[in-house]
Amino acid sequence: MNDRTLRVNSWNGWDPLRHVLVGRADGTMVQAPEPAVQRDFPDDGFPLGSYGPMPAEMTAEANEQLDDFAGILQRRGIRVDRPTALDFSQQVATPDWTQESMFGCMPPRDVLLTVGNEILEATMCYRSRWFEYLAYRPVLQQLFDADPNMRWEAAPKPRLTDASYRPGFWETYNKVPLAEKLERVRNHDLVLTEAEPLFDAADIARCGKDLFVQLSLVTNRSGYRWLKRHFPDHRVHAVTFTNTHPLHIDATWVPLRPGLVLHCGERPAEPELMKYYEINDWEVVEAVQPASWKHYQRLSFCSPWLAVNILNLDPQTVCVEETEVHLADQLVKYGFEVVPVPFRAVGPFGGGLHCATVDIERDGVLEDYFPHRYGRF
């Protein structure tokens, strides 16, 4: 059935939110090892090499928080769609490889990038996530049918043969000293080779005409170059942060409204990026230490910086995980209304409030927030 009121439109992360996709925890797996990722939770029942579904009680609790979050958004008049989970425990294969399990569909932000009236399916680089786009196809099909202006795009499906990964990367990287790790991050000498374009959508921060693409454990230079050619009307920048495990920009560099970006001080930005923001009159604010700093979370592969993985409802209103009270206080001082959302149980399923969502519609137009050039920017 066509719904003429549906419209895909979002140029940044802060314009007033009208319609959003919220992930589900159903069937999420501790995925089987593969070249790009090797889970190792010896104290939580999943030592290196083992895999299987997340414990049922954790999945139920995460789903309860995701459903409650969807309810909070709906009560504010925001339309919410949800993905359709697949059997993520199944083996998957292409002509090039077989992978013993899939992953899940909690963090849709990793897979889908909305830029204006376009939703782009990212390549991904985990074999366990190769088919994850299928969980979002029912929503994408509905949007395509309803909105005659929606552009539905998919980046080239990668081959993900062994040529896409540095052999033995994790065994070596896990043992090298911190300074060497950071040097490798700055040089982007990490697990992915440049054999083909690879990127996760969550490595991209959208600020109107400027798109910032983090080179990371899941995004390579070739992926960045593909994005740059794909969005010729944007300024697309490759950026790195001093972070031993760069993986998704939205717990590191979080634009909150025109002129204000929250950043993680433990993961300093390149001086040139800082300067680009500063000469364009943006304030770069260092986030306070997360309240969850020392809280151990079973089966989680995320850091406490998930605290800053927040979702704007508009330029004055942000959803923040309810236990992150210090961050909430900090944001109130910057004039935000904070909507507290219980979400800790969702972390082990792949992220926070920003990871768990994809913009479908925000009220707003393409704007240039960076009129002044600096260095390579």
Q: Which of residues 344-363 bind ligand NVA (CB under 6 A)?
A: 351, 355
Residues 6+ positions from 166 with CB-CB distance below 8 Å: 190, 191, 192, 193
Determine, following the binding rule CB under 6 A, whether residue 247 of this chain makes contact with ligand NVA: yes
- Rounded to a whole number of angstroms, the minimum distance from the CB of residue 374 to ligand NVA is 27
- Looking at 26, 81, 110, 200, which residue is catalytic? 200
Task: Respond yes or no: is residue 19 known to be catalytic.
Answer: no
For 93, which DSSP code? E
- Looking at 234, 248, 263, 354, which residue is catalytic? 248
What is the rounded CA–CA span in Å between residue 220 and residue 340? 35
CA distances from 123 to 80, 120, 138, 351 (A): 25, 9, 19, 19
- Rounded to a whole number of angstroms, the minimum distance from the CB of residue 3 to ligand NVA is 31
The DSSP-derived string for 224-259 is HHHHHHH-TTSEEEEE-BS-SS---GGGTEEEEETT
Determine, following the binding rule CB under 6 A, whether residue 302 of this chain makes contact with ligand NVA: yes
Task: Please pick, from the candidates 29, 62, 70, 306, the single residue that binds ligand NVA as defined by CB under 6 A.
Answer: 306
Determine, following the binding rule CB under 6 A, whether residue 305 of this chain makes contact with ligand NVA: yes
Computed from CA positions of residues 259, 264, 268, 270, in that sequence, does the dihedral angle turn out positive or negative? Answer: negative
What is the rounded CA–CA span in Å between residue 151 and residue 38? 35
Task: Please pick, from the candidates 65, 128, 292, 309, the single residue that binds ligand NVA as defined by CB under 6 A.
Answer: 309
Give the SS3 label for residue 83.
coil
Task: Respond yes or no: is residue 200 known to be catalytic.
Answer: yes
Stretch that binds ligand NVA, among 17-25, 30-38, 244-252, 337-345 (CB under 6 A): 244-252
Task: Respond yes or no: is residue 264 known to be catalytic.
Answer: no
Report how many residues bind ligand NVA under the rule CB under 6 A. 11
- Rounded to a whole number of angstroms, the minimum distance from the CB of residue 241 to ligand NVA is 11
Determine, following the binding rule CB under 6 A, whether residue 262 of this chain makes contact with ligand NVA: no
115 phi and psi, to 5 degrees?
-135, 105
On whether the CB atoms of residues 282 and 261 are closer than 8 A, the answer is: yes
Determine, following the binding rule CB under 6 A, whether residue 248 of this chain makes contact with ligand NVA: yes
Determine, following the binding rule CB under 6 A, whether residue 250 of this chain makes contact with ligand NVA: yes
Residues with catalytic function: 200, 248, 355
Interface contacts to ligand NVA, rule CB under 6 A: 247-248, 250-251, 302-303, 305-306, 309, 351, 355
